[in-house]
Structure 1
Amino acid sequence: MKWFKTAMVILMVIPAPVTSPAIAAGPVVHLQDDRLTLDVKDQPLATILDMLSDRGIRIRIDPRINPTVTASFTDRPIGAAITGILKSVDYALIWRKDKASTAGEPRLWEIRIFYKGQEARIRPLKKTANLAVFKNPDGTYHVRDVLLVRLNPNATKAVMAALLDRLGASIIDSYPPLGIVRLRLPHGSDVPAIAGAIADFPGIRGAEPDYAYPLEGGGPATGAAVSPSVPPASSPSAADAAVAVMDSGLSVDFAGSPFVRAAYDALSPGGDVGDELGHGTQMTLIASGAINPLGTAVDDAPGSPVIPIRTFDDNGFTSTYTLMRGIDHAIENGARVLSLSWGSETSSSLLETATRYAAEKGLIIVAAAGNAPTGNPVYPAAYEHVIGVGALTPDGKAWDQSNYGDFVSVSAPGLADLPVGYNGDPGIYAGTSIATAYTARRVAAILTRNPDADGATIMKILAEEK
């Protein structure tokens, strides 16, 4: 699939066709290899850099630098391009080999922009990382004007060019392990209808919207509680199995904790990881062993190193493609367990494919069964390669709000006294989210003792250790 190497180094942000006076043409920012095509008028530099960061390029810049840019040129070396539009500042381009490319070609990884002699003042580019989410009539959500296309292994560059021409679309990004390309459609597109219309397009294995999933974690439990302080945690061993917590991130208050191995922001790659919602911090504290669910003993499940991955935005949404980025980071940083303390009744074939890929790479995946006892399958917990987790009360009984069904593989304590709030103040929280993070920690402990344990062995041990 020769053309796919090219897709990995292309960013195209092309305006939608003008269909009415209300739709204005937008900027063109096209990066291929080390050559930049730019057609912008009176655009803040931050807007241009924001488009480049959508491609996964890290941007670090002195916050004082944000001139208005008007420029039009084609295929200019990126160094010369930056020099031309920013005459009074310095810059540095950082290149790295692309792990996703079989040939290992270096690609542009980071751009640094600063005043001469003041590089210490650069900071990660502040950008709007919230997803533009659209709610469909059937209650599902997707990212506006974004389509995910999975290609056949023998797809050619001509196939992709024909598809882009037919849709008036541009490539935003690609995910080579699964042959998935992320496309920007014209403004106001009916994405589900377009996905269905191109299902039989030559060279296409499938297409669907970049489905969005809301974070519906557990809420405060009835009754007041005194929030505990976080107990000191010993530094985990490098040999301990690590848990990747894909959630709303990690509060900066805990960023330097000894149990944090490698935090990552899948919504804004290269940015500093924070947590405006608190849910990800809660789950990280449970998965690491810093906090124990009520009804468990301190030594029931040893703590584990954690890799907090911010996959939910400040509005509480994630998307299929964002989760793929998170899975990639978990794999690259040696995680053995993937903890997903959330779920949705929306089943995505591409999300199922991505989580199966993670499982084939050796990750044990645990996911929340849901906090509404409907009996309806919740995904990703209901995928066959995922351990679905229900919640118990501290006395070992089923929590009355825990979902149920054949897809629920195990249940675990689901109440905890937490020093960080989510949709409320610190205190006692309840939910399958907590049970999931605790189960992930138990799975990590099993893998630390027996690194070669497979899914069946892990399920047997979880049942025996009740």
Structure 2
Amino acid sequence: MKRIKKNSIFLLLCLLLSPLSAQAAESVVRVNGDRLTLNAQNEELSKILGSLSEQGIRIRIDPRINPKITAAFNNRPIGAAMAGILRSVDYALIWKKDKSSTANEPRLREIRIFYKGQEALVRPLKKGANLTVVNNGDGTYFVKDILLLRLAPTITEETLAALLDQLGAAIIDAYAPLGIVRLRLPHGSDVQAITETIASTPGVQTAEPDYAYPLEGGSPAIGGTGASLPPPVDSPKNGNTIIAVLDSGLLSDYKASPFVQSAYDAVSPGAEVGDELGHGTQMTLIAAGAVNPLGAGSITPAGSPVVAIRAFDDNGFTSTYTLMRGIDYAIENGSRVLSLSWGSETSSTLLASAVRYAAAKGLILVAAAGNAPTGNPVYPAAYDNVIGVGALDPNGDTWDQSNYGDFVAVSAPGMADLPVGYKGDPGTYAGTSIATAYIARRVAAILNQNPDADRATILRILGKGK
């Protein structure tokens, strides 16, 4: 996530509040800029590092190293903190200039831990990579024991401290661009009830559960060969507009492909990106130009470099805060198009804010209208500043399972013969997700020719079939 300016009240709150006493039964691990707060009693190092990883720091460690740590300190320089808890092993802190900082200050990106002279043995930290999702019983889902708050700039330290004390909560992360903090509540908390209780608290602009959204990929269709090997693909030739694909990740077989700009795990930051579901790999291939949908015609837009972001876990769920991480990574890595091949009827005020923020940063967002013809709005496709995409069959007619409504701005071929399956074998798949990835590629082609084109201009060009 982006680092906050040092003189920001938001940073001050994150540094000074969420006291160690708020969660006496659980370890507290919090990094802010170049400082670390830790309260751990006989805790395995891997768990502490896992908490740091959740805050966006990549962890690489020799798997043999996992001592139990007992320590308690507040806001200590991270170099001194690591030296204090890692007395028998070596470590390295990797810093990177933070583009979001007005002073271009460095930000901690990676921690490596190893025995002296054996740094080559470090591996990505193994940790849980799935969200703990609760079914609310009304068609909505949320992440267990997590609450998101958007704070007013005028909130006082005393107000937030009192609120944290009242909830027994701790700040575990913060999304600076929108003033959002992520709180961990005590185990088994009634997140919905707490949300309603504190919604009118002075200084709290928005309170929401960390809503979760299921991935509903395309359905297998009749016909098609579905070759099981990666197709040969050249590097994109028509410009360098980058498409960020927020989906289920990318299979390792494709990571070295010339069209893959980078990959990032927004569910479990710091982990190596994989794709247990296959859907993210499917969408990457289409967005990049490695696969063309059936019925797209012989003249199709050239491919584009892709940033593959794992935003959905192995169970097929993402969350509002996970998507914010993914959006942030897309912006930081120069993406101009955001491809969202999924949708949910759950609307989130905070996710809508993140979408507006992404659009304000110059991203063109495209999202799937849904694979059920209900006419109900599906989000994020139905948010302002997003291009909602429906699907066509290979004959150019509306696919019979494509959703419809005023929020559907454009339709595109939605069937493709894919070398990777979604929860199954390779073959021909159909869905608005395929149409979305293809439209993302077309948008990138437009931006290659006209980098200043806005959403309205792009829709006009898409409507002309260019």
Same fold (TM over 0.5): yes
SS at match of 2:261: coil
- What does residue 4 of structure 1 align with? 10
Matches within 5 A, 1:13-412: 25-31=25-31, 34-72=34-72, 77-223=77-223, 225-227=225-227, 229-236=229-236, 239-412=239-412
SS at match of 2:459: helix
Q: 1:458 to 1:147 in 2, by over 3 A?
A: same
Q: Is the 8 A contact 2:239 2:304 kept in 1?
A: no
Letter in 1 for 2:113: I
Give the distance between the partners of 1:232 and 1:35, measured in 2 at CA: 47
Deviation (angstroms), 1:27 = 2.2
Letter in 2 for 1:236: P
SS at match of 2:46: helix
Give the distance between the partners of 2:178 and 2:61, measured in 1 at CA: 33
Give the distance between the partners of 2:227 and 2:325, measured in 1 at CA: 34
Deviation (angstroms), 1:174 = 0.7
53-62 vs 297-306, which moves further? 297-306
**What's the TM-score, normalizing by structure 2?**
0.93
The Cα offsets for residues 287-330 of structure 1, whole Å up to 9 and x where unpaired, read as 00000001123532211111111100111110001111111111
Q: Structure 1: which 5+ runs fail to align?
A: 19-24
- What does residue 427 of structure 1 align with? 427
Give the distance between the partners of 2:18 and 2:36, measured in 1 at CA: 10
* Structure 1 vs Structure 2 CA RMSD: 2.3
Deviation (angstroms), 1:10 = 7.8
Give the distance between the partners of 1:140 and 1:160, measured in 2 at CA: 28
Q: Is the 8 A contact 1:15 1:28 kept in 2?
A: no
Q: 1:75 to 1:290 in 2, by over 3 A?
A: closer
Letter in 1 for 2:54: D
Give the distance between the partners of 1:145 and 1:123, measured in 2 at CA: 30
Deviation (angstroms), 1:7 = 5.1
Give the distance between the partners of 1:354 and 1:405, measured in 2 at CA: 23
Query: How many corresponding residue pairs?
Result: 460
- What does residue 21 of structure 1 align with? none
Deviation (angstroms), 1:248 = 0.6
Give the distance between the partners of 2:247 and 2:272, measured in 1 at CA: 15
Q: 1:32 to 1:287 in 2, by over 3 A?
A: closer
Deviation (angstroms), 1:354 = 0.5
Identity among equivalent positions (%) equals 69
**What's the TM-score, normalizing by structure 1?**
0.93
Q: Is the 8 A contact 1:61 1:123 kept in 2?
A: yes
Letter in 2 for 1:95: W
268-277 vs 364-373, which moves further? 268-277
The Cα offsets for residues 96-126 of structure 1, whole Å up to 9 and x where unpaired, read as 4444444554443322110100111112211
Q: 1:287 to 1:31 in 2, by over 3 A?
A: closer
Deviation (angstroms), 1:143 = 0.6
SS at match of 1:261: strand
Deviation (angstroms), 1:229 = 4.7
Give the distance between the partners of 1:15 and 1:295, measured in 2 at CA: 61
Letter in 2 for 1:220: P
Give the distance between the partners of 1:40 and 1:6, measured in 2 at CA: 23
